[in-house]
Structure 1
């Protein structure tokens, strides 16, 4: 059976996605995340419940060393047959970090976690994805400053990778947590579109999709927020308030199912380079922000990201040059 690698596939939207993949598409799973103590019981339960193989991969997307080690481990699992052919990579894990923190590599942690780690993972593994496979980026409507989502969280700033990685250093005033998050998600969308262009030039049939799960209570997105905020986000009143404001509304179950569909359903094979959104119980194709279609910005982000992750010639995918 085909295998889907999903970062953060053991909790929140990712877990709902993993359940749907196993139950409805009969795909094996490769669950990647920071804590094997948390992932392995989930993998065992998924395998027992749905009769699929569910392997685990220790992976911290904020650490370049961890990403490289995880990619090496994935290659080994594919080579020895433990993991069947790789049908899709779902770049789902993400975080909104309140304070200004830096990764073990010295990069601002939100940008490192949400963008750089997944960028490196794709460079290291895209050659192992089958030719009709999928790559899906869990982005966010907050990346678009023209939407209510973007205005409330904080308008995305210029997606300059070198500046974002070093945000708040050398006495510079750090960008707010909301803007760091929305900008990292803009980088996800820019990367999805640039990946699509590179795959098309190489003649590959791999599909690259950007996905907005909508505002979703019950995920780890708000874990850094104060307890009253986290509690309020789960109430019916707050959901109605969000809808009246015009916020894009998702749900953990529907958004997880939508992510699974984008990763495995043949109906979405023609959606490469597209932006799809979970909105009030509907999965729709829509437009992302104006800036996200800027090919010069996307190319600069891609090339600067290669520098930041110290991509070596032997590591660079032949599909993505």
Structure 2
């Protein structure tokens, strides 16, 4: 038996992936994070697999993430859970501005999409057992061009981490929120590259890009017009190469997390295959700067 930690399993492609893993991998004990509720019970009922544990965690709170990681580490060390072989960082957030702040004073998109993944991996670093696999969900919006974002999301705008993590009270438009999202997904690719150079031998890390997936809840913070547009016109894109259903994307996420090794550690898995990420994402100096500044923002004494 092995343990797999997963965020973002409550809805959309993450929920589909969690159910696929539980149905097909009886050797996996799935640990999911949730703000509360009945997620573990629901997954047990829908899959018939009892090997599910839910840990309460608010991914916008560094203190909550640290407490959850400590709880998981205790369970692993005591033998209450089998060894940790994987982490799927699937939770994602997109807001309609860049003006909001978490209780820690961090811009929420950056907090959930980047900082939470960094913290969970760093805190549990010594618990990952080879062969292990870490998969962080990315987005082709990090390319910043019409082909990849269909004109819906502004291109990323890179800044030092202190700036990326800071709310901008003056940036209150939906375009500002979407740019924060695309930039956070560029940061995810940089983080994966930095991790690939540091993780222990036998522990791989990948970015998984599901493409555009209508109906995942990512636009739940948007206004009614955008939500309606997403449910109708954009949902119709599933019949084209530009989009994918949550069921199909969840299947591919499950495969990326528990299937055959996709490729060399650090690779970008675009739906079904390894492809290059955006040219801008290959910047060693920027990746190392991101790593240093994340370590400074949230210093970690590994559990």
When the two structures are superposed, what TM-score results if normalisation uses the length of structure 1? 0.86
User: Residue 65 of structure 1 corresponds to which residue in structure 2?
Assistant: 63
- Bigger Cα displacement from structure 2, 2-11 vs 172-181: 172-181
Structure 1 gaps, min length 5: 317-321
Structure 2 gaps, min length 5: none
Q: How does 1:102-181 map to 2 (within 5 A)?
A: 102-150=101-149, 151-168=151-168, 176-181=176-181
Q: How does 1:15-30 map to 2 (within 5 A)?
A: 15-26=15-26, 27-30=28-31
How far off its partner does 1:118 sit? Answer: 1.2
CA distance in 2, matches of 1:40, 1:162: 36
1:224 maps to 2:213: no
Distance 1:149-1:38 versus aligned 2 partners, 3 A rule: farther
User: Residue 315 of structure 1 corresponds to which residue in structure 2?
Assistant: 302
Structure 2 SS opposite 1:51: coil
CA distance in 2, matches of 1:190, 1:105: 23
CA distance in 1, matches of 2:227, 2:195: 35
Q: Is the 8 A contact 2:59 2:112 kept in 1?
A: yes
1:257 maps to 2:251: yes
**May I ask how many residue pairs the two structures share in their alignment?**
298
Distance 1:241-1:136 versus aligned 2 partners, 3 A rule: closer
Structure 2 SS opposite 1:155: coil
Q: Is the 8 A contact 1:78 1:85 kept in 2?
A: yes
User: Residue 74 of structure 2 corresponds to which residue in structure 1?
Assistant: 76
What whole-Å deviation, never above 9, does each CA across 1:42-62 have from its counterpart, x for those lacking one?
Answer: 24425xx33241001112221
CA distance in 2, matches of 1:112, 1:241: 30
How far off its partner does 1:141 sit? Answer: 0.5
How far off its partner does 1:240 sit? Answer: 4.7
Q: CA RMSD in A?
A: 2.1
Q: Is the 8 A contact 2:124 2:302 kept in 1?
A: no
Structure 2 SS opposite 1:142: helix
Q: Is the 8 A contact 2:19 2:43 kept in 1?
A: no
Q: Is the 8 A contact 2:143 2:278 kept in 1?
A: yes
